[in-house]
Structure formats: C-alpha cells, structure tokens
Structure 1
Amino acid sequence: MLQKFVDRARELEFMEKQFKREEAGFIVLYGRRRVGKTELINRFIKDKKHIYFFARRESAVDTFNRLSKELFKVFHDELLISRPFSSMDSFFDYLYEKAKEERFTMVIDEFPMLIERFRGLPSVLQDHWDNKLRFSKLFLILCGSSIGMMETEVLGYRSPLYGRRTGQWKVEPLNFFALAELFPSYSAEGLVKVYSALDTIPGYLVKFDSSLSVEENIEKRIFRKGEFLNLEPEFLLKEELRDPSNYMSILRTIAAVNSAFNEICNSSRLDKSLVSKYLAILENLHIVEKTFSVIATDKARLKGKGSYQIKDKFFNFWFRYVYPFQDYLERGEIAVVADFLSRDFNTYLGFVFEDVAREFLIRMKSESERETPLRMGKWWHRDKEIDLVILNETKKESVFFEVKWRELKRRECEKALEVLKEKSTYVEWHRKDRIVRYGIIAKRMDTDDKRDLRSKGYLVYDLDDFETLMRR
C-alpha cells in the first residue's frame, strides 16, 4: 500500500501553535513504536529550519560525531567537523549560542536511547534549560517510543525535567475511520477485519496490499515466516523486557477476551504475586489495560475489581493466531493456521466490533454533543452483561446497545431488544428517574427492518451506516 499521511490534523495544529509562541518551546512527543511519530515530525519540520537527530545505541564518541555533523548541515560551522562535541554540555551550549537570535527546531528522536548512554542527561538538560535555553528562541522536541521511560525520565514528577516542558502529546493510533482513506477499495466489513488484525498502526497498515483480500494479506504478511509482521510483537517485548517469556504466557491468556485476575493465574500457572507484578509492568507499558463495568465506583476501581485486555489489536491478533501456532508457521504449514482462523475469525471479530461500535457512536455525535461528558463502555454484573452502555450524568440519560457481528433478522432484533430491556433493569444507575433508550448495532440488517425499528424509537445501525459515515 502506498503510504498516506492521514488523521493527524490535531497533532500538527498543536505543534504549530507551540512553535508560533514567542518564547522558547520544549515539547515532548511519545507513543508506541510504528505509530507514526517520526513521519509526524517530518511533516512539521519540512518548511522550517531544523536539526533532526535520531539517537541509537552506539558509543558516546559516535553520538557526538553524528550530532556535530547534523548541526554542520544547518550552520556550516567548520569547527563542528574539526572539533566535534565532547560532552552533552558542549552540545547544549552550542544550541544556546545559535538560538539566542534565531528560531529553529532541534529534534531528538528516540531520546530514551540517549538517556541509556548518558544516564545523567535529564539533569544536564534541566540545568541548561533553566539557566540558558528557556531564554532563547529554541524550539526543542524530545521524542520517544519507550512509553514507560518517557513517562518516568521526562514527564514524571521525579524527573529533573518535570515542569520544564511547554507541551506534550501522546501520539495514538489512527481513528478507525481513517482506514477508509488508506483502503478505499475495502468495504466497511473489510476495514473491521483490517482493524482486528493490525489495529490502526501506520507502520503496520502499509504492509497490507489493498489489491488482496484481508485474509490473503494476513496469510502473506503475518503468518509467513520472515515477514516483518511475523515476529513483531516478540521483538517489541524484547526491547522493553529482559525476559519476556512469562509476559508472553500472560498475554496469550488474555488475548481476545477480558480475563479476570484469577483466570490469568490459573491459565498461566504462575504465582499470584508474580502475575500481579507482570500485569502492573504490562499496564505501565500500555500493552495491557484493566477494564471495569461502566458504572463501577471509584472504590471498586481502587480495589481492582476489573478484567484485563490487550489494548493493541495487532498484539491481540498475534497472541491469538500466531504465537500459539508458531511451530506450524516455522514449518511453513500456513494452511493449518489459516483453517483455524477461518473457523474462529468471526468470534474474534465479534469482540473487536464492540470497540468499532464505540468509535462509530462517537463519530455520529455533533461537535456540541462531543463536549458533553459521557461514560461509555460495557456493563456486567454476575451472569449478566450488556455490550455497550452510554450514560449522560447531566441529563440522567442512558442508552443500552446490543452489538452483534452477524446478520440479524427482524425477529432476532425484537428478541434481542426484549432481553436487553430486561438486563437493563439490573443496572444500578438512577433507576427511578433515568431516561432510557435502546439500540442494536449489527453487522447487517434488512433496510426496511431498520426503518421500522427506528420509527419505534430504537437506535438501529449496521455496516451500511458505517459505510455512509466513512464516505462522507
């Protein structure tokens, strides 16, 4: 697929506003690998005077030589070649001298790698920022993919750099609806499948060929040994963790289902204290998240009474369809895994479709409605569960949705709505004075059935409505 730059208007607007301020700028960009941080930076700096430096694992001498060469390209100062920087102090001193009278951008990409080489770097930068750089015209961008390290070493309260930044932005995956721009030939159903396999990570999306079906892409780009995506999650975990084996066992257990703590312990056969420790680390790395019933109180959340799920759909897909079948894939027996995928895919898509439905409803809202604080999520209690609930505390409005990844006939819709109404009576939220509505979001429904149910006050949508919203 040809690489396109989409769905980053807000990020660019933020960076431009920061840049146009008169005072020195110091912004922090961070986010998981392959999410498009570097491409975002390149778009921002393309029409500005800038120095771009990509940190890597190398000796201090090599780092200083490369830094000197990058600055030479901009300032044409022969001393940078004959006498390269010998310390981070000399580098920041040079930046200050050049930025006293002139605005330019200094980008340090993968800043955590520099910290690994120069452990005192945050303190050194703090000293130079407090005493010199903040009085200059410099626009400094620190960027990093190690989210945990960026949050502790740069953004965290205990970091020497705490409070120095003028702005920060966590670069998230694209919006689901951006996939329509990247894969215009795919239907809404095809885009849900793409999302289920790759999430909306730009660095992964470019690996799919839109002239092939999603299933063909999965076989050729994910299942095939040697392909970039085949072992990507394992490589990323090894970047963050010394020994990822136990973490991978836990992720396999969680994959594609919201798993309770005890279920994870039983399945992984690890001691509870170890599981608790590993889950906390995976949460800090933003790989796993704990989810709670939409009406869970702060007390319940503090007690941790929730379920765990993998945040990243690509990780989720990989730990469901690749990791358990690596022996087959190593031998090139892709057909065996593809057969399992064909039998299990709709079950997995049903889980993913709930997240897509949330994005659809958010997208449906007007700008004024988006400013209204809402709670949105799944509700569960004992043996009862509702796929999607929207709560408006201000107006005491509640909307209950059944989400189905299959075609629904009229009678099935009516039955689902009856069951939904019955389950909603158990939801302990303004039970006596709330305004209630009900709805269904399905893979496919008859147009006349949708129209009739809507005339009765139900909120009813299927992929045709997604398609309309995407192509708007």
Structure 2
Amino acid sequence: MRFYNRENELDLLQKIRERSAHSAQMTVVIGRRRIGKTSLLKKDMEGSPAIYLFVAKKSEALLCQEFVEAVKSILAVNLFGEITRFRDFFAWIMELSQSRNFTLVLDEFQEFKLINPAVFSEIQNLWDSQKAGSQLNLILCGSVYSMMKDIFENSREPLFSRATAKLYVKPFAVSVLKEILSEANPAYRNEDLLAFYSLTGGVAKYVENFVSAGALTLETMLEEVFSANSLFLEEGKNTLIEEFGRDYTTYFSILSLVANSKTSRPEIESILETSVGPFLEKLELDFGIIKKIRPILAKPTGRTVKYEIVDNFLCFWFRFVFKNYSAVEIGNFGFLKAQAREGFSTFSGKMLERYFVEQVKEAQRYSQIGTYWERGNSNEIDLVAVNSVEKRAVFGEVKVNAAKINLDALRQKSQRLAAQFPDYELEYRGLSLEDM
C-alpha cells in the first residue's frame, strides 16, 4: 500500500529538521501501536542524513553495540574503543552533532524505563550541557501512551519540559479512508466504507492488512479477523496489557462493559460490584483509551456523563472478541463470525454516528460539535453542530437506513435544546449510509 496523507505531519517534521541545522531539536512523537509512526518517520528521513534505532527489549550493552554499528555505517565515522552504556553512546552522538546536522530517531523510547531508567537522567544531563553547539535533530518516539506521557509531562521526571516539539500521530481522517478504499476497490459500496471505518478506525496497520488481503467488504473483513493466525485476535491484549500492567483484568472488564453499551459509571459499578472511579480516570487521563461524553452545552462539571472507547477497533475487539474469548481459544471461528454478523448492525449504527461527527469536524465549519440527551437517555440527538459566529445550528439524526429517519420526531425531541438557540437559524438533517 502506498504512503497516504500525513502532509501536515511531514511538513512539521521538515520544519523541525530545518531548525535543527541552527539549534538542536528534541521532538517527542506519540501514537498508539499500528498507527503508522514508524512509516511516517522513515518517510521524513528520506533524502537526509538520518539514523533510525529501535529500542528492543534486550540488554543495554547489546543495544549499544547495535546502535554504534548503525551510526558508523550511516554517518561513515569511526569509533575507537567499545561502548556498552547508553550514556556513552549519547555523549558520542552529541559530540558528532557539533560538526554535522543529522536526525536520530529512537523508536519505542519508553522501553528504557525497563532496560535502564537512569538513561533519562543521562540524556537530560548531556542535552542540557551540550545542546548549545549541537545540530542534532533528536526524535523520541513511543507507543505506550502512559509511559511516554509520564517521561515527558511529569514534572518530577528528568526530561520534563526538555522537548522542543510534540507530535501526536492520529488515525487517518474519514476522507483519507474513502480515498484508500476507492483506490483499492473503485466499485465499493457505502456499506463497505462503513465496515472499513468501523473495523479499522483509520489505524494504518489495520487498513494496510485489509487492503493487502483484498478484504474490502464486511464479510471478507470478518473472515480476515476471525481466522487462524489472525493479527486481530490477540491485538487488544498486545496493545493494552503493557499499558495496564497487573491491573489489566479490571481495566479489560470495564472496557468490555463500555463496548457493550454500559456507558455510565453507575451501570459499570452495579455489574462489577465495586467502585471504578480511579480506573475510569486513569483510562481517560493516563491511557487516553476512553473519553467522557457530555450533552452539548452541558457544564464541564455536570454529572450527566457517558464514556466511550476512543478507538474503533478496540471497541470492536472488546465487543466481539474479548467477550467471546473462550471461542477464540478453541478456534471456533464460525461462532465468532456469526456473533459479529448478528451484532454488527447495532455496532455499525454507533460507528456511523462517529463517522458523521468526524466528517463534520474535518469540514471545520463549526465552533461546537457533539451529541445531546436528557435525563434517562431521553430525547437523544445524534449530532449537534453549532456555528456561533454565523448563528447557525444543525441537529442531525443518523440512521443506517434512510427510510427510518423521522425529521418531525427530531424536531419534537429537539425542542428543549433548540430553546437555547433563540436567535439561531436551525437546520434539521437526516444522515444515513447514502450520505457517506
């Protein structure tokens, strides 16, 4: 699959690289696994002196041996003696950067926390003392969100405030997904686009896997997911267990409930029979895996709150894979596919709502975008978009089947919300598969 999009990210990385020729730069790149960070950085490295180093889970001495050979080969330099400590390797890098401008990428940088936590202090000391004359473009990349956030945003950590730039790599926008699918399958239907969006969420590796396998319809995607040796079956565990550590079973239980429409704290606590406040807070603030949803215009401190899993694929995984993990372990793929087919219409209905929210955000025509509901989940409105400058508001109802849209009912249940926009031009809009 060819390299798609990322023009804004590449533009930012180019500007940082150009600045590094005059003053050393430290850029932190964060994004969940499979999002395409490495591909982005390697694309940026093309045509410039750059060294890519992967921080594997091995001894510090072996890593340094590997790193030294890479630097010698790419920069055509010699080294007398042996380096077995990262502090000595980084001191060498800082020395080399006094006379030449180059990029150094350290991928999965957070792994030093397990290999040798002293590395962060050592980098800080060398950076602070030698960056003045350095031309190094240092890029520190990581996929364990909580660890990277702690390393660079915790005021007690040595690398706090040292970064000169931060880049969060996000999923492909819905317009890019449409472009990719239309090139892979020019005859695609909107049902295929909805399945493509629902199962990948725009995560580059999942997109690439489906395109490479020619799995471009719901049925072929389910075949790809629920098959022996599938990448997808263990993906939730592979992505999250390192993040969660020993408490992962509690976090997984909460995420499974949220994925299966138990989206309020009281609902979750009544089923688990325990307080989950600290877990929900960490899932939102430390891990970035869930987010709070409040009715549009609600006070930030309001108690009317729902939670949703941010990542589409993880939402699918917890709903259809983790929930039926016994069937995964015995290889009952027929049962798993049947469960996914049966529940997909409900699941994809919520995903279609997300799709249109993202589409409206991408258009950048509104100052506020969200959803709305009243106490007891009554009078739910799937999409509310407000332009406070032009004094316009759109109330939208989203249905997979356009025939089920009832604009009169939408106007009726929007009365209380509409009253909060007395001078606005109000538009009531139905959105379905046909509008994707």
Q: Mark yes or no: TM-score above 0.5.
A: yes
Paired residue type of 1:19 = R
Q: Which position in structure 1 is the counterpart of 2:354?
A: 355
How far apart are the structure 1 equivalents of 2:132 and 2:279? 40
Q: How does 1:147-166 map to 2 (within 5 A)?
A: 147-166=145-164
The two structures have a TM-score, normalised by structure 1, of: 0.85
Kindly report structure 1 stretches of 4+ aligned residues shifted beyond 4 Å: none
Residue identity matched to 1:394: V
- TM-score w.r.t. structure 2 length? 0.92
Please state if 1:389 is matched with 2:384.
yes
2:251 maps to 1:247: yes
How far 1:213 moved relative to its partner? 4.8
In the alignment, residue 337 of structure 2 is paired with which amino acid? A
From the superposition, tell whether residues 407 and 398 of structure 1 become closer, same or farther in structure 2 (CA, over 3 Å). Answer: closer
Q: Give 1:258 shift.
A: 6.2
1:299 to 298, 301, 313: 301
For 1:160, what is the secondary structure of its paired residue? Answer: coil
What residue in structure 1 maps to residue 290 of structure 2? 288
Q: Deviations over 1:323-345 (max 9, x none)?
A: 22222333333222322322221
Q: Does the residue aligned with 1:79 lie in a helix, a strand or coil?
A: coil
Distance, in Å, in 2 between the alignment partners of 1:337 and 1:79 is 56
Q: How does 1:129-168 map to 2 (within 5 A)?
A: 129-168=127-166
Question: Is 1:238 matched up with 2:241?
Answer: yes
Q: What are the within-5 Å matches in structure 2 for residues 86-97 of structure 1?
A: 86-97=84-95
In angstroms, what is the RMSD of aligned CA positions? 2.0
What secondary structure is seen at the aligned counterpart in 2 of 1:388? strand
1:379 paired to 2:390: no
Does 2:124 match 1:121? no
| Contact kept? 1:30, 1:143, Cα under 8 Å | yes
Matched, 1:424 2:414: yes
What is the aligned-residue identity percentage? 28
C-alpha change, 1:5 and 1:213, in structure 2 (3 Å) is closer
| Secondary structure of 1:402's aligned partner | strand
SS at match of 1:419: helix
Q: Deviations over 1:200-258 (max 9, x none)?
A: 11111222156445333333322123211111101222222223222211111110536
Of 263, 269, 286, the match for 2:267: 263
Change in 2 beyond 3 A, CA 1:237/1:393: same
Paired residues of 2:101 and 2:137 also in contact (CA < 8 A): yes
1-structure distance, mates of 2:366, 2:156: 32
Cα 1:258–1:173, aligned 2, differ >3 Å: closer, same or farther? farther
Partner of 1:65: 65
Paired AA for residue 417 in structure 1: L
User: Matched residues in 1 for 2:241 and 2:214: separation?
Assistant: 33
- Alignment check: 8 A CA contact 2:103 2:136 kept: yes
Deviation string, structure 1 residues 86-126 (Cα, Å, up to 9, x no partner): 33332222112211121100111111012322212222222
Further displaced range: 229-238 or 39-48: 229-238
221, 225, 228: which one pairs with 2:224? 221
Q: C-alpha distance in 2, partners of 1:330/1:106?
A: 42
SS in structure 1 of the partner of residue 416 of structure 2: coil
Separation (CA, whole Å) in 1 of partners of 2:304 and 2:121: 39
Partner of 2:83: 85
Over 3 Å counting, the alpha-carbon distance change for 1:90 and 1:227 in structure 2 is: same
> Quick check: 2:29–2:141 contact (8 Å CA) kept in 1?
yes
Query: How many angstroms apart in 1 are the aligned matches of 2:36 and 2:119?
Result: 25
Aligned residue number for residue 402 of structure 1: 397
Matched residue count = 425
**1:435 partnered with 2:428:** no
Amino acid in structure 1 at the alignment position of 2:329: E
Question: Any stretches of 5+ residues in structure 1 without a counterpart?
Answer: 445-461, 467-472
Alpha-carbon separation, structure 1, partners of 2:226 and 2:324 = 9
Map of 1:6 onto structure 2: 4
3-state SS, counterpart of residue 436 of structure 1: strand
Secondary structure in 2 matching 1:298: coil
Q: Which whole-Å deviations, capped at 9, do the CAs of 1:418-468 have from their partners, x for residues lacking one?
A: 111122221176343233121111124xxxxxxxxxxxxxxxxx2xxx3xx
- AA partner of residue 64 (structure 1): C
Per the alignment, do residues 326 and 422 of structure 1 end up closer, same or farther by CA in structure 2, a change over 3 Å counting? same
| Displacement after TM superposition at 1:35 (Å) | 0.3
